[in-house]
Amino acid sequence: MADLTKKYDVLVAGGGNAALCAAIAARRGGASVLVCEMASKFYRGGNTRHTRNMRCAHDAATEILTGPYSEEEFWDDLLRLTGGQTDEELAKFMIRESKDILNWIVEQGVRWQPSLGGTLSLGRTNSFFLGGGRAMLNALYLTAEKLGVKIVYDAEVTDLQIEDGMFLSARLKQPIDGAAQIRASALVAAAGGFEANIEWLKEYWGEAADNFLIRGTPYNRGSILKLLLDKGVQDIGDPTQCHAVAIDARAPKFDGGIITRHDSVVFGIVVNKHAQRFYDEGEDIWPKRYAIWGRLVAAQPDQIAYIIFDSTVVTSFMPTLFPPIAGATIAELAGKLELDPVALEKTVTDFNAAVQPGTFDHTILDDCRTEGIAPPKTHWARRIDTPPYLAYPVRPGITFTYLGTRVNKQSRMVMKDGKPSANMFAAGEIMAGNVLGKGYAAGIGMTIGSVFGRVAGREAAKNARNW
Ligand SMILES: Cc1cc2nc3c(=O)[nH]c(=O)nc-3n(C[C@H](O)[C@H](O)[C@H](O)COP(=O)(O)OP(=O)(O)OC[C@H]3O[C@@H](n4cnc5c(N)ncnc54)[C@H](O)[C@@H]3O)c2cc1C
């Protein structure tokens, strides 16, 4: 039972990976720690529940990783995928610290499993959680509780009292055991981005945001991020930048998770509601391109698109929750998708006519390409000519947003005047924009949460105890 009337050394707002890493590190640092998780116990853990793996640098192959992934290679990848929009000092710090996280997280009870094969191609770079994100979280919660971290659920933080960059107290939406005002000597904000706040997304995307699906928790509404930015913390990151993939249009509005994501784009073509192709489906290997398709679909009329393929490739990719929609002819398929049959037939016929001979291999940039159509399909182009014809309807699936609070290497928030906050720290999605100006590589979300969560907790404990 948590006594909410007492003053804690460290208050952690949030209940996902970043929050738990911070809570454990702070407690191990000798601090009294209270975690306020907005969700109920069953739904605890935010987007972390949906994760599978984490990207960490390592010098050699291990039991679960097939080869080395040096700090330099990790940095090169990050530099390329962000187009240089990253804080170099902070990013290199994160990469260096990530090496130690592989073992540290195991010390906190988390277990790894051999990496998944198939289309992901992550066996060398990413470590997979045994049992997935939920099992990983359960281990962290168990460890935190054993260490004496106090955790309260259904505990939404709705206001923060901050004076001159110093956190004083937090207000809960509703009292827990009679207390609604929480006092602590330091704050760790680990409450996610604002991806579940459609109204906030609309400020940048307009009405289109109504058609976005949110892949993860409905609780990451950015309420703490907004409070912090309103109360003097410096922002970082472009509010329109986010991780967004193409997910099944039949997925629920929130929390559909990984099983609604479509990885079949490279095996077919993608058309919009006018049955027109709009982007090179074979531009690069899938792990480097899957995260652009959410934005591409977001830019199409009514934010809807259709992946069209034929029966020859059905077993080439990971099946998803929803079965494909089938038609014996392209025209029949078009009818089921409510597309103009004549337009879809013409698009498929033109595409088929443009396909050049080649040797198909989806694991490399093969020589199967089109000629004479725009946009081209530069790899893995094969004729769509074997019925039944199949389609998945897709919409933008928003994973998480990048606008956040600026932090330094202590994970300490930086105020608008450039001075470090006296006692406020941030970790995870809420500060991801420091490292991710744009782009994404699988597994970095959890690296950001674990590395900066651990640092934030350790520094918050030191701060609170005046070490
Ligand atoms: C489907 C899916 C799959 C993913 N797969 C991967 C993967 O394999 N690898 C990877 O690295 N990343 C993955 N990600 C991204 C990853 O989930 C995030 O980067 C990571 O979990 C962020 O951790 P966090 O602790 O910052 O946020 P979260 O885990 O989202 O936690 C935020 C917490 O804050 C709480 N909260 C929000 N507002 C308040 C408030 N006002 N008061 C109190 N609490 C509040 C929420 O309830 C939640 O518990 C995936 C995301 C999704 C949606």
Q: Compute the distance between CA of residue 175 and CA of residue 138 in angstroms, rounded to an integer.
A: 26
> Whose C-alpha lies nearest to ligand 1, atom 15?
445
Q: What's the 14 CA to ligand 1 centre distance in angstroms?
A: 9
Half-sphere exposure of 119 (CA within 13 A, CB side): 20
Supply the DSSP string of 51-99, one letter for each residue: --EEE--BSS--SS-SS-B-HHHHHHHHHHHHTT-S-HHHHHHHHHHHH
Q: Which of 253, 446, 451 to mutate to test the pocket of ligand 1 (most atoms within 8 A of CB)?
A: 446
pLDDT of the residue at 116: 65
Among 384, 390, 266, CA closest to 317: 266
Q: What's the 399 CA to ligand 1 centre distance in angstroms?
A: 9
447 CA: nearest ligand 1 atom: 11
Parallel, antiparallel or unpaired: strands 235-236 and 242-248 = unpaired
C-beta 215 within 6 A of ligand 1: yes
448 CA: nearest ligand 1 atom: 19
> Whose C-alpha lies nearest to ligand 1, atom 27?
192
Q: What's the 255 CA to ligand 1 centre distance in angstroms?
A: 11
Q: What's the 430 CA to ligand 1 centre distance in angstroms?
A: 9
C-beta 115 within 6 A of ligand 1: no
> Whose C-alpha lies nearest to ligand 1, atom 26?
428
The β-bridge partners of 127 are 54
Tokens representing 418?
Answer: 């450039």
C-beta 46 within 6 A of ligand 1: yes
Q: Please provide residue 401's backbone torsions phi and psi, each rounded to the nearest 5 degrees.
A: -90, 160
pLDDT of the residue at 123: 87
Amino acid in position 215:
R
Q: Which of 125, 219, 430, 452 to mutate to test the pocket of ligand 1 (most atoms within 8 A of CB)?
A: 219
- Where are the extended beta strands (E) located within 343-446? 389-401, 404-405, 412-414, 420-426
Look-up of token digits 């004479």: 372
Amino acid in position 23:
A
> Whose C-alpha lies nearest to ligand 1, atom 7?
51
pLDDT of the residue at 202: 96
Distance in Å from the first CA to the final CA of the chain: 28
Q: Compute the distance between CA of residue 187 and CA of residue 8 in angstroms, rounded to an integer.
A: 10
pLDDT of the residue at 303: 98
Supply the DSSP string of 209-269, one letter for each residue: GGG-EE-S-TT---HHHHHHHHTTBPEES-TT-EEEEEEETTS-SS---GGGB---GGGSE
215 CA: nearest ligand 1 atom: 53
Parallel, antiparallel or unpaired: strands 412-414 and 420-426 = antiparallel
pLDDT of the residue at 458: 98
Q: What's the 325 CA to ligand 1 centre distance in angstroms?
A: 32
Q: Is the pTM of this model over 0.85?
A: yes
Amino acid in position 282:
G
pLDDT of the residue at 183: 97
Q: What's the 183 CA to ligand 1 centre distance in angstroms?
A: 25
Q: Compute the distance between CA of residue 121 and CA of residue 53 in angstroms, rounded to an integer.
A: 12
Q: What's the 428 CA to ligand 1 centre distance in angstroms?
A: 8
Q: What's the 223 CA to ligand 1 centre distance in angstroms?
A: 14
Q: Compute the distance between CA of residue 169 and CA of residue 157 in angstroms, rounded to an integer.
A: 10
Q: Compute the distance between CA of residue 410 and CA of residue 407 in angstroms, rounded to an integer.
A: 8
Divide the 467 residues of the chain into consecutive groups of 10 and give the mean pLDDT of each group. 92 98 98 98 98 96 92 95 95 98 97 73 90 97 98 98 97 92 97 97 95 98 98 95 94 96 95 98 87 94 98 91 97 98 98 97 94 98 98 97 97 97 98 94 94 98 84
C-beta 224 within 6 A of ligand 1: yes
Q: What's the 162 CA to ligand 1 centre distance in angstroms?
A: 25
C-beta 86 within 6 A of ligand 1: no
Q: What's the 51 CA to ligand 1 centre distance in angstroms?
A: 9
